[in-house]
Amino acid sequence: MSKPEIDAVVFDVLGTLVDEPAGIRAGVRELDPALDESRVEELLALWQQHIDHEQRRMADGVRPYAPSDALDLEAARLVAEATGVDDPAAVAALALSARRLPPWPDTAAGLARLAERFPLIGLSNASRTALLGLNAHAGLRWHQALSAEEARTYKPDPAVYRLAVTVAGLPPERLLMVAAHAWDLRGAQKLGLRTAYVARPVGDPPTSSDGFDLHAADLADLADQLERLDQLEQLDHFDHRVRTSGSFQS
């Protein structure tokens, strides 16, 4: 695969920069502190399955679009019903746990380091309101944060990735999509974006058939790799000038 030349970096948020399951677990425990950990995991799975299923239905045009806030409330109601809780205030509080997601330990430093060299764009399935809360709670810093709500669909619909391409004002191949989810990167690839998989405990790892441009252990590793690519690009330009001129002219 050719060496990617990158002018802007696009980041998935949920799971890639913040630990989404940890935030939902905390909300479930607040809903019913008597739950044991195995039951918490069952309820977390119930939440995640509902969100994933409904987002796919909307992306496929089976269900009319609804923002992530509505889906979070639906999931919270399902979890509350499964635990026998019927307090509307408790259900609402559980739904808001989807905005109180802790960042991964390397997130803040990694974003700060990458922001010194690239425009950074957040691209999330979270609604505009939810994304605002997520950014504030986790301390995420962007040059631009985009919600799939603008496209009224969900990733991996191409319309969502097109938001980042339009805002960046660049050809898709000059953007690098970073995610911990292989399905997300596949969606970006279809629109022509370059791709970088970052390993997270809650992600969707690549399969043997995936061909992503970069694979990183964390954001520090990603920044290291991009710096090395930049150095190689500079060397390539130097070599080209030497070959075409016969000597280096400053």
Q: What is the pLDDT of residues 56-83, one digit of tens each?
A: 999 999 999 999 999 999 999 999 999 9
pTM more than 0.75: yes
- Per-residue pLDDT at 231: 75
Q: How distant, in Å, are the alpha carbons of 43, 64, 116 from that of 68?
A: 18, 13, 31
Q: Pick the residue with more confidence: 235 or 148?
A: 148
pLDDT exceeds cutoff 60 at 242:
no
Output b/e per residue, 187-208; b: 16+ Cβ within 10 A: bbbebebbbbbbebebbbebee
All domains of the chain in start order, with CATH: 8-17+102-239 (3.40.50.1000), 21-99 (1.10.150)
Q: How far apart are CA 185 and CA 195, in angstroms?
A: 6
Q: Using alpha carbons only, how large is the chain's radius of gyration in Å? A: 20
Q: What is the pLDDT of residues 223-232, one digit of tens each?
A: 999 999 877 6
Beta carbons of 119 and 10 less than 8 angstroms apart: no
pLDDT exceeds cutoff 60 at 16:
yes
Q: What is the pLDDT of residues 78-106, one digit of tens each?
A: 999 999 999 999 999 999 999 999 999 99
Q: What is the pLDDT of residues 124-181, one digit of tens each?
A: 999 999 999 999 999 999 999 999 999 999 999 999 999 999 999 999 999 999 999 9
Q: How far apart are CA 179 and CA 161, in angstroms?
A: 13
Q: How far apart are CA 85 and CA 93, in angstroms?
A: 12
